[in-house]
């Protein structure tokens, strides 16, 4: 429920559909200067990117390409999707490089691209998938009895296409794009409707990647001349659409079933099923394709699937994929706190939330993007930026700790993809509207209402709820500024130049300020940041009799290290007041929550009803820290959903 200051004039408006889809204000036009995010981005830029490249390289991810180039029989380094992980790390790096020049990193990536190019040059169609070429060369794209679910040929190729687009946008260098377009053309030639082969990805990523390739050449037709192959960008969009619409048609090919969202055409699917990373990346592609082709059936399928995912199968942290066995979704409301919640799934969902926000201008999608960014994704990397989590459950025992590396290190590359993309998530535009989606200290430059406009935010969000937004158009210009009012907030207020103003409060979660803007105009958003107790939907059995603590967009947890050594035997009385205190000395500086709780002296996992007086309980101070900062102080247990005490 949204409330606004009573001195604001409330109007109910609906977003004009001529505005849709929105355009993200892109990375080169946004700079972040933010007390929360800037130090973290610095760690990921200076530590994490290099850490991932070093570790992939040590596993043989690069020598795989040399072996293909040389045609020498050798063992493949890493699992079949290692080419893709390397490309994903290039994509993430490219986005970081847009914000901050990285000559050494760029040189390293250029050298990697040359090794990929040498391998690709061995095939007339530029086919390169090192695992398939080294292990099952007759089974390209999973054909001839192969299995793309395991081989990941289409995933690797999709990741290459995506990375090449991002790398061109970062550097203007065409070398990677040349390799990627040759491969993309080969794919368009090989797979598709009859008489081409019925091949769909065993692991999604290509759907959105091919939409991006289409958009790049649509925007920059002059680039086609630099490519080694003829470019007809419409074919890239058509192949992405084929992959989406042709799920469920398994004639003449291996079926990936619901695990690979292959149980029916995506446009007919009602529920999110199967492997959560595959699903979220597929649906991100669905929304991206829908924004380009304008088809209502794409938009409605995306919204239907998003509703099922967010309201029935997602955790409070934005984590997804309750079931470890298939790394994926379980039934509605089956959300055990020991669930799987792979970092990659939260990232895939973030891409889906973002793309659907652009497609629909629905602020709820930006709410969920924010939830994932601050919680389910951010927890995936240590504060030092060099150790990681694959699974992000809502309770952990002290035996669980972050790993420096993994046999399947898919999550670190996805993490840097999400965080590299962050600047592009803050602002979006329609022709007559500028949207503020995330509250991050930043400056965005864009064209709106026919004029160039600079928008700047200054804030200590998420620790404090005041956001100052200044609007500096090159000349006076009339447009709407739509400021997201987060779904978690209560009693938000907005002032324009210090005065109450005519503000339309939209049904879609944005406050719309329509006026003629002049240089220096200032909007002040205030979001009360009191700690909140949140209860799960009653159908979530695992959380009955439990409560979670949040403050602003942050989900909190109890860690044993702050709570007498054991977090999972604590309860929070319903009447206990909650306090918030800034602790600059803790975890790089965090707001902690406190309360007088109870130690129930029993393993809370055995409690299925609210704690009552029959339990032996002693009073104990509770201290909660942001979930994203958990598991950074050595082995300790952790719990998000705390027993709801008497």
Q: How far is the CB of 74 from ligand FUB (least distance, A)?
A: 22
Nearer to ligand FUB, 342 or 370 (CB): 342
Residue 203 binds which one of ligand FUB, Zn ion, none, with CB within 5 to 8 A depending on kind? ligand FUB
Tell whether residue 199 is a contact of ligand FUB (CB under 6 A).
no
Tell whether residue 344 is a contact of Zn ion (CB under 5 A).
yes
- Taking alpha carbons only, the member of 542, 280, 571, 569 closest to residue 393 is 542
Cα–Cα distance, 532 to 530 (Å, whole number): 6
Residue 327 binds which one of Zn ion, ligand FUB, none, with CB within 5 to 8 A depending on kind? ligand FUB
Residue 408 binds which one of Zn ion, ligand FUB, none, with CB within 5 to 8 A depending on kind? ligand FUB
Please check whether residue 305 is in contact with residue 285, taking contact to mean a CB–CB distance below 8 angstroms: no
The residue within the footprint of ligand FUB, chosen from 231, 244, 344, 494 (CB under 6 A), is 344
Residues near 48 by beta carbon (within 8 Å), at least 6 away in sequence: 381, 385, 386, 412, 415, 416
Tell whether residue 410 is a contact of ligand FUB (CB under 6 A).
yes
Nearer to ligand FUB, 81 or 256 (CB): 81
Residue 65 binds which one of Zn ion, ligand FUB, none, with CB within 5 to 8 A depending on kind? none
Q: How far is the CB of 159 from ligand FUB (least distance, A)?
A: 10
Q: How far is the CB of 419 from ligand FUB (least distance, A)?
A: 18
Cα–Cα distance, 609 to 272 (Å, whole number): 30
- Site track for ligand FUB across 29-48, x = CB under 6 A: --------------------
Residue 178 binds which one of Zn ion, ligand FUB, none, with CB within 5 to 8 A depending on kind? none
Nearer to ligand FUB, 324 or 501 (CB): 324
Binders in 512-571 for Zn ion, by CB under 5 A: none
Q: How far is the CB of 27 from Zn ion (least distance, A)?
A: 23
The residue within the footprint of ligand FUB, chosen from 102, 207, 241, 342 (CB under 6 A), is 342
SS3 letters for 354-420? HHHHHHHCCHHHHHHHHHHHHHHHHHHECCCCCCECCECCCEECCCCCCECCCCCCCHHHHHHHHHH
- Taking alpha carbons only, the member of 395, 380, 263, 393 closest to residue 320 is 393
Tell whether residue 240 is a contact of Zn ion (CB under 5 A).
no
Cα–Cα distance, 262 to 215 (Å, whole number): 26
Q: Which two tokens stand for residue 542?
A: 């695992």
Residue 402 phi, psi dihedral angles, 5° rounding: -65, 155
DSSP at 191: B
The residue within the footprint of Zn ion, chosen from 410, 448, 536, 611 (CB under 5 A), is 410
The residue within the footprint of ligand FUB, chosen from 53, 65, 81, 439 (CB under 6 A), is 81
Q: Which two tokens stand for residue 596?
A: 């007088």
Tell whether residue 273 is a contact of ligand FUB (CB under 6 A).
no
Sign of CA dihedral 120, 122, 125, 130: negative
Tell whether residue 277 is a contact of ligand FUB (CB under 6 A).
yes
Please check whether residue 428 is in contact with residue 23, taking contact to mean a CB–CB distance below 8 angstroms: yes
Nearer to ligand FUB, 421 or 523 (CB): 421
Cis, bond preceding 341 (omega within 30 deg of 0): no
Q: How far is the CB of 76 from Zn ion (least distance, A)?
A: 19
Q: How far is the CB of 328 from ligand FUB (least distance, A)?
A: 9
Cα–Cα distance, 151 to 79 (Å, whole number): 9
- Taking alpha carbons only, the member of 159, 484, 488, 512 closest to residue 354 is 484
Q: How far is the CB of 59 from Zn ion (least distance, A)?
A: 15
Cα–Cα distance, 267 to 254 (Å, whole number): 20
- Taking alpha carbons only, the member of 161, 163, 137 closest to residue 151 is 137
The residue within the footprint of ligand FUB, chosen from 67, 91, 182, 203 (CB under 6 A), is 203
Residue 81 binds which one of Zn ion, ligand FUB, none, with CB within 5 to 8 A depending on kind? ligand FUB
Residues near 499 by beta carbon (within 8 Å), at least 6 away in sequence: none
The residue within the footprint of Zn ion, chosen from 113, 199, 309, 411 (CB under 5 A), is 411
**638-639/554-559 β-pairing:** antiparallel
Tell whether residue 467 is a contact of Zn ion (CB under 5 A).
no
The stretch among 33-41, 338-346, 533-541, 564-572 that binds Zn ion (CB under 5 A) is 338-346
Q: How far is the CB of 167 from Zn ion (least distance, A)?
A: 22
Torsion of Cα atoms, 363 then 369 then 372 then 374, to 10°: -90
Nearer to ligand FUB, 345 or 536 (CB): 345
Please check whether residue 206 is in contact with residue 154, taking contact to mean a CB–CB distance below 8 angstroms: yes
Residue sitting closest to Zn ion (CB): 344
Residue 179 binds which one of Zn ion, ligand FUB, none, with CB within 5 to 8 A depending on kind? none
Binders in 513-542 for ligand FUB, by CB under 6 A: none
Residue 34 binds which one of Zn ion, ligand FUB, none, with CB within 5 to 8 A depending on kind? none
Element (H, E) at 480: strand 477-484
Tell whether residue 87 is a contact of ligand FUB (CB under 6 A).
no
Residue 71 phi, psi dihedral angles, 5° rounding: 65, 30
Q: How far is the CB of 25 from ligand FUB (least distance, A)?
A: 29
The residue within the footprint of ligand FUB, chosen from 327, 362, 367, 543 (CB under 6 A), is 327
Residue 312 binds which one of Zn ion, ligand FUB, none, with CB within 5 to 8 A depending on kind? none
Q: How far apart are the first and last CA of the chain?
A: 27
Cα–Cα distance, 153 to 219 (Å, whole number): 28
Q: How far is the CB of 417 from Zn ion (least distance, A)?
A: 11
Binders in 205-264 for ligand FUB, by CB under 6 A: none
**Can you give the binding site for Zn ion, defined by CB under 5 A?**
342, 344, 410-411
**Can you give the binding site for ligand FUB, defined by CB under 6 A?**
81, 203, 277, 327, 342, 344, 408, 410
């Amino acid at each position: 429920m949204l409330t606004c200051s009573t001195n604001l004039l409330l109007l109910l408006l609906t977003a004009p559909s001529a505005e849709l889809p929105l355009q993200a204000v892109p990375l080169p036009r946004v700079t972040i200067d933010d007390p929360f995010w800037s130090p973290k981005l610095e760690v990921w830029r200076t530590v994490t990117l290099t850490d991932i490249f070093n570790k992939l390289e040590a596993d043989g991810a690069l020598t795989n390409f040399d072996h293909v180039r040389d045609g020498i029989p050798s063992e493949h380094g890493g699992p079949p999707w290692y080419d893709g992980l390397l490309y994903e790390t290039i994509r993430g790096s490219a986005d970081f490089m847009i914000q901050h020049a990285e000559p050494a990193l760029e040189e390293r990536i250029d050298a990697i691209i040359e090794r990929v190019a040498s391998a690709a040059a061995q095939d007339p169609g530029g086919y390169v998938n090192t695992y398939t070429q080294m292990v099952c060369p007759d089974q390209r794209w999973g054909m001839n009895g192969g299995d793309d679910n395991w081989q990941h040929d289409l995933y690797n190729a999709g990741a290459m296409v995506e990375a090449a687009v991002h790398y061109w946008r970062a550097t203007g260098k065409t070398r990677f794009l040349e390799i990627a377009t040759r491969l993309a053309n080969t794919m368009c030639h090989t797979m598709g409707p009859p008489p081409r082969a019925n091949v769909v990805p065993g692991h999604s990523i290509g759907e959105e990647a091919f939409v991006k390739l289409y958009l790049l050449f649509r925007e920059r037709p002059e680039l086609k001349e630099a490519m080694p192959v003829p470019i007809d960008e419409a074919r890239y969009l058509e192949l992405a659409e084929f992959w989406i619409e042709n799920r469920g048609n398994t004639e003449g090919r291996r079926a990936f079933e619901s695990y690979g969202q292959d149980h029916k055409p995506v446009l007919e699917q009602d529920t999110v099923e199967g492997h959560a990373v595959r699903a979220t990346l597929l649906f991100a592609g669905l929304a991206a394709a829908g924004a380009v082709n304008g088809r209502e059936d794409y938009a409605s399928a995306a919204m239907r699937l998003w509703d099922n995912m967010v309201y029935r199968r997602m955790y409070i942290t934005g984590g997804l994929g309750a079931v470890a066995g298939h790394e994926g979704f379980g039934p509605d409301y089956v959300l055990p706190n020991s669930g799987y919640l792979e970092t990659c799934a939260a990232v895939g969902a973030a891409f889906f939330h973002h793309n659907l926000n652009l497609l629909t201008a629905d602020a709820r999608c930006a709410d969920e993007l924010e939830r994932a960014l601050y919680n389910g994704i951010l927890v995936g990397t240590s504060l030092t930026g060099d150790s990681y989590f694959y699974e992000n459950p809502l309770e952990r025992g002290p035996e669980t700790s972050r790993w420096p590396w993994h046999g399947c290190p898919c999550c670190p590359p996805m993490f840097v993809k999400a965080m590299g993309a962050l600047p592009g998530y803050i602002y979006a535009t329609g022709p007559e509207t500028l949207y503020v989606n995330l509250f991050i200290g930043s400056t965005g430059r864009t064209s709106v209402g026919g004029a160039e406009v600079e928008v700047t935010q200054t804030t200590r969000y998420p620790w404090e709820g005041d956001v100052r937004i200044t609007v500096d158009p090159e000349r006076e210009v009339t447009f709407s500024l739509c400021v997201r009012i987060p779904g978690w907030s209560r009693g938000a207020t907005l002032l324009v130049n210090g005065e109450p103003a005519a503000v339309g409060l939209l049904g879609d979660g944005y406050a719309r300020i329509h006026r003629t803007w002049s240089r220096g105009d200032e909007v002040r958003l205030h979001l009360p940041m009191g700690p909140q107790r949140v209860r799960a939907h009653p159908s979530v059995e695992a959380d009955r009799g439990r409560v979670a603590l949040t403050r602003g967009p942050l989900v909190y947890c109890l860690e044993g290290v702050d709570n007498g050594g054991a977090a999972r035997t604590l309860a929070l009385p319903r009447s206990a007041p909650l306090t918030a205190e800034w602790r600059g000395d803790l975890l790089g500086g965090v707001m902690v929550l406190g309360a007088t709780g109870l130690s129930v002296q029993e393993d809370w996992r055995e409690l299925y009803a609210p704690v009552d007086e029959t339990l032996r309980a002693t009073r104990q101070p509770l201290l909660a820290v942001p979930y994203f900062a958990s598991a950074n102080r050595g082995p300790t247990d952790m719990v998000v959903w705390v027993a709801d005490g008497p």
